[in-house]
Chains A and B, each alone.
Chain A
Amino acid sequence: MFESTSFFRIVKTGFVNFWRNLWLSAAATMVMSITLIIFAVLFLVFAMTSYSIKSIQDTVDISVYFKLGLVEQRILDIQQDLESDRQHVKEVEYVSAAQAFEEFKQRNASNPLVMASLNELTENPLPATLHVKGNTLEDFPLIAEQLKSDQYKDFISKVNFEDNRVIIERLNKILKFIITFGVGLIIIFSLIAILVIFNTITLTIYNRKEEVEIMRLVGATNWYIRGPFLMESLLYAFFSTLITGGLLLPVFTRLIPRITQFVNPQLTIYNQNVFNYFYIVLMLFVVAVALSIFSTMMAIRKYLKI
């Protein structure tokens, strides 16, 4: 019995319910908006931080300088050792001494002084190197530690990692804090939103007790009776997304480009998908609808006897 007439009446009754309990509806919409704002802000901060970390991480590697004159096979063995550690190591790139020398020459081709000094040399002064990348930021210190062990001590002249360590660790801590704190906050406010909507819908059900009883008696289908309550809660979701979306618009058009510029001018995260305004608003709407439907269904199951 879900033809257009019934559908239209369900939608209309939903609007009427929303309007009749306007203050309750406003409260539910506000709490939902606050939840969405927190959700959006945390999402943005999280996305920005993790994006920054990722771009820094991409530029970071551990450079392992080998002692001069070391047999190449030894280095390849160590490379293999590292590569077999799939749990921590993402990739290992080998640059031989000869390659390093070539690259150095190419880089300085325009500098006659350097070129002249190079020609004086009888042997290659550059060491062979391995460039190691970890899977995550936490892997870097572990890999560096491993390379400093007695096993490799005799072959390696220097492991270069310390430079970026402080930045990476700090970012990592921030990210962990954001995740823990943010997830906690989202859970708390989602629960508050669920409770407030649950109570609002329960009150609407109570206000319309007589109507519901008569509807049942005269043979209204279960969905015809439930529909308006679901519609009412969808309106909370819609209006709270609208409010949050409105508040987010200046953040997207003004604040984020500036922050991005400030944090790292080279990063073009503003163009990234996760920073797309409509994508985020859509995500917020989905969250709002999920919370609304969930709490309304709870209220209906508990208080709407059909």
Chain B
Amino acid sequence: MIRFENVVKKYSHSKALNNINLDIHHGEFISLVGLSGAGKSTLLKVIIGEEPIDGGRILIDDVDISNVKKSDLPYLRRKIGVIFQDMKLLPKRTAYENVAFAMEVCGHRREKIERDVPKILDLVGLLHKKDNYPNEMSGGEKQRVAIARALSHRPVLLLADEPTGNLDEVNAGEVLDLLLKINQLGTTVLLATHAADLVNRIKKRVITMEGGQITMEQEKGRYRL
């Protein structure tokens, strides 16, 4: 589904990604681990075209996205959901409105939005909090709203950049369970994290990065640096 071929990304003098070769298959759940600065976030950013790459190529379903036109980026981003450690929710909008916003800006009709948003909120277990504002929710709930928003376009791939970084153990567990559930429903998930206990619980493919390179790959692996 996604193939990295000798991908290089430079920041001024250092190489954030150094010759990355990687295959991600449909329906996989991959944990991307490594210390801060290992290149995990950069790897996610180049997939959504947030950062251009300096060498090699990235194929998504055999389409080379390394030199996708700027005007085509939005359409690529609709196929890929992204969630972050800081959630990036709009504070003045309710849970419902935050999810609806993502659908609105992509031109979905109101009827579709009214039909889909409650379903997605139900999927993440937050339908009962649809009228709550972010500051009225726990960290885990906020992250689940962010996941709901990322799912609103029915993405084929969900990128999660340290989604549990700000959460306590219980909330982090809830978010992870949700990601696993989404994966079971067919969405490929790429989870960048350094929460060792979570990775050990998942027991799926683990990729370890260090200094912009992939240093280890394990099927049904554990968190090891």
The listed residue (B74, B88, B109) touching A221 by CB distance below 8 A is: B74
Contact B149 A218 (CB under 8 A): yes
A residues 83-97 in Cβ contact with B at 8 Å: none
Mark each residue of chain A from 95 to 107: 1 if its CB lies under 8 Å from any CB of chain B, else 0. Answer: 0000000000000
Contact B77 A219 (CB under 8 A): yes
Contact A220 B74 (CB under 8 A): yes
Query: With A214-B90, A217-B88, A222-B70 in contact, do A1 and B77 touch (Cβ < 8 Å)?
Result: no
Work out how many contacts link A and B, with CB atoms closer than 8 A: 58
Contact A9 B90 (CB under 8 A): no
- Among B75, B101, B105, B107: residue with most chain A CB under 10 A: B105
* A287 to B: closest C-beta gap in Å: 31
B residues 79-117 in Cβ contact with A at 8 Å: 82, 88, 90-91, 101-102, 104-110
Bound state CA distance, A232 and B27, in angstroms? 44
A residues 214-229 in Cβ contact with B at 8 Å: 214-222, 224-225
Closest residue on chain A to residue B89 by CB atoms: A214
B222 located at the interface, meaning its Cβ lies under 8 Å from any Cβ of chain A in the complex: no
Closest residue on chain A to residue B108 by CB atoms: A5
Contact B74 A219 (CB under 8 A): yes
B12 located at the interface, meaning its Cβ lies under 8 Å from any Cβ of chain A in the complex: no
Bound state CA distance, A143 and B110, in angstroms? 76
Q: How large is the interface on A (under 10, 10 to 19, 20 to 34, 35 or more residues)?
A: 20 to 34
Contact A217 B82 (CB under 8 A): yes
* B70 to A: closest C-beta gap in Å: 7
Contact B105 A220 (CB under 8 A): yes
B31 located at the interface, meaning its Cβ lies under 8 Å from any Cβ of chain A in the complex: no
Bound state CA distance, A281 and B74, in angstroms? 40
Bound state CA distance, A159 and B106, in angstroms? 79
Contact B109 A219 (CB under 8 A): no
* A222 to B: closest C-beta gap in Å: 6
Contact A222 B90 (CB under 8 A): no
The listed residue (A6, A210, A218, A224) touching B78 by CB distance below 8 A is: A218
Contact B106 A220 (CB under 8 A): yes
* Chain B residues whose C-beta falls within 8 Å of the C-beta of A123 in the assembled complex: none
Contact A213 B77 (CB under 8 A): no
Contact A306 B90 (CB under 8 A): no
A-B contact pairs, 30 of them (CB 8 A): A1-B106, A3-B107, A5-B108, A5-B110, A6-B107, A9-B104, A9-B105, A210-B88, A210-B90, A210-B91, A213-B88, A214-B88, A214-B101, A217-B48, A217-B82, A218-B77, A218-B105, A218-B149, A218-B150, A218-B152, A218-B153, A219-B78, A219-B106, A219-B153, A221-B71, A222-B70, A222-B71, A224-B105, A225-B105, A306-B70
User: What 9 A-B pairs come out closest when comparing CB atoms?
Assistant: A219-B77, A220-B105, A219-B78, A218-B102, A6-B107, A219-B74, A1-B107, A221-B74, A215-B105
15 more contacts with CB within 8 A, not counting A9-B105, A221-B71, are A1-B74, A1-B107, A210-B91, A214-B88, A214-B101, A216-B77, A217-B77, A218-B77, A219-B74, A219-B77, A219-B78, A220-B105, A224-B105, A225-B105, A306-B70
